[in-house]
Chain A
Amino acid sequence: MSEPDYTSLVIGVGNLYRSDDAVGILIARKINNMALDRVSVKEQSGEGTSLMDAWKGYGRVLIVDAVSSGAAVGSIHRLDASKEPIPSKFFSCSTHNFGVAEAIELARTLSQLPGHLQLYGIEGKNFQPGEVLSSEVEQAMELVVGEILQTISSLS
């Protein structure tokens, strides 16, 4: 199967039923609904090996996920994963402790990292079962959607 003709891939990571953890998926859906030219969108649970498969063949990848690093709720963390290692305090809510940060670092070791990999982490507060975002996270969601659109247009 040949890779799609898109130049940018947006991956939303999270769990729709874990309150603020849904934000990555919700952002991915918003971008997907815009049906942008040369942009592909995927949803992921955060399981590391599947994530490595998801970005295979794409040179420009943007990942968005909820994080819990101790910063103020709604803070937006921006990390250029192609240039710097990801602190493991980010994105640690994952299966068997092999999640987003580990997938990126393993891919770096195996030379499987996309040429451009930008991460957006939105600091969450509530990761309990539920389908409602905290208001701070909801506000951050709108900002991140705007930033992703800007980044995509600057890349293409």
Chain B
Amino acid sequence: MTKKTIKVDYLARVEGEGGLYIKMKDDAVVDVKLKIFEPPRFFEGLLRGRDFQEAPDITARICGICPVAYQMSAVHAMENALGVKVEGPLRDLRRLLYCGEWIESHTLHIYMLHAPDFLGYPDAIKMAKDHKEIVERGLKLKKAGNQIVSLLGGREIHPINVRVGGFYKVFSKKDFEPLIETLKWARDAALETVRWTAQLPFPEFEQDYEFVALHHPEEYPFNEGRIVSSEGLDIDCSDYEQHFQEEHVEHSNALHSVLKKRGAYFVGPMARYSLNFDQLSPMVREAALEAGLGRECRNPFKSIVIRSIEVLYACDEALRILESYEKPERPFVSVEPREATGFSCTEAPRGILYHHYRLDGQGKILDAKIVPPTSQNQKTIENDLWKFVPQHIHLAQEELTWQCEQAIRNYDPCISCATHFLKLDIERT
């Protein structure tokens, strides 16, 4: 009997601190643990007692890569609680801000973190030696996303212009003019990115996931929609906790999220794409088909192509919004506090991000619950490894370890987000 272990103490090219442990006996996998040891940060606890208007800026601090997602889920949950609907140009501006974040976040992952895996480089710096122009294109494309967030959000990281009801300040059509030229270039660069990623070498690894994403009949989802799944789930965000539950596992400081009675599920670009193909704009659908993708994709290694498709969509959608934009009369809709409960889900770059708040009559937060995408994908990442390792057991240890890391990076995991909270169960005897 031979025993073998794969151990990666610190995963590289992911956000936050995590490790991987795989144990094998006679070429069979007997244990897989995605270990998340990033310390918990107790955000939900520190929201208690704060004013409802503070939630978007406090929760934005959970992540430096997807602060817009936290702001959007927070404002929608508060508006849901307080009976406010934000429509017209203000709603469009929220979609625009989200476009900026998707472009930034996805492009960083595609070019700097994931592509080196496929091309056999340990990092983007080594890759840039042989692929200078490609890396330069990636950096410039990411910057286009930064520009949207900087202008509309007030600064690149942890934007400060978002409030419950809308924005603190809105801009004229003229203010946005420089962005339009940038985004026209970015849309072309995004199309080149789709073509470039589509010809990378992918292992055969089609999986039978339950995809979960938002779905809106008329648009590719950012801020609004019902939560749907490939197995027929179709619920309002307010019913999330009736269908999903979080579990504490010993080896992770991030709670594992499962569908009740069904288990692991998959959130993120591949789920969004597979459940919303028809909502993509025509040129993006055409680019996807030309890249060899079907109407759905079940190979997580191809998530790099799906992210490229979403960058293309975000550039196209941002241009559509800017070209028809008219400055709203007021930057925000008035919001009055009341005793209420609110729920929301929006599509962060890595998948659905759920917020739930309970407010008192003065608008103070009594309770908060936040479920980020990475904690929802943890179990699915482990399941992938249970299946991937036996298929590649013949590889040398170093190569197999690399490919396991790559399989984790397929999810662009954000460990800092996932550990915003740890449920402490203290057992006393």
Report A's interface with B, CB cutoff 8 A: 45, 47-50, 52-53, 95-98, 102, 105-106, 109-110
Contact = CB atoms under 8 A, between A and B. Distances in A.
B128 interface: yes
Given A96-B112, A98-B112, A47 B142 contact: no
A12 to B, nearest CB: 15
Contacts of A96: 13-15, 65, 108-109, 112-113
A45 B108 contact: no
Nearest to B135: A110
Given A98-B108, A110-B136, 14 more contacts: A47-B64, A49-B139, A49-B143, A50-B157, A52-B139, A95-B15, A96-B15, A97-B12, A97-B13, A98-B112, A105-B125, A106-B135, A109-B125, A110-B135
Contacts of B142: 49
Interface string B305-324: 00000000000000000000
B31 to A, nearest CB: 26
A88 to B, nearest CB: 10
A97 B416 CA distance: 12
B394 interface: no
6 contacts: A48-B112, A50-B156, A95-B15, A96-B108, A102-B124, A106-B128
A109 B157 CA distance: 26
B408 to A, nearest CB: 13
A48 B65 CA distance: 12
A96 B109 CA distance: 9
Contacts of B136: 110
- Looking at chain A's contact residues, is the secondary structure mostly helix, strand, loop, or mixed? helix
A47 B128 CA distance: 18
A98 B132 contact: no
Contacts of A47: 64, 156-157
A33 B14 CA distance: 37
Interface string B371-389: 0000000000000000000
Contacts of B108: 49, 96, 98
Contacts of A95: 15, 64-65
Nearest to B124: A106
Contacts of A50: 146, 156-157
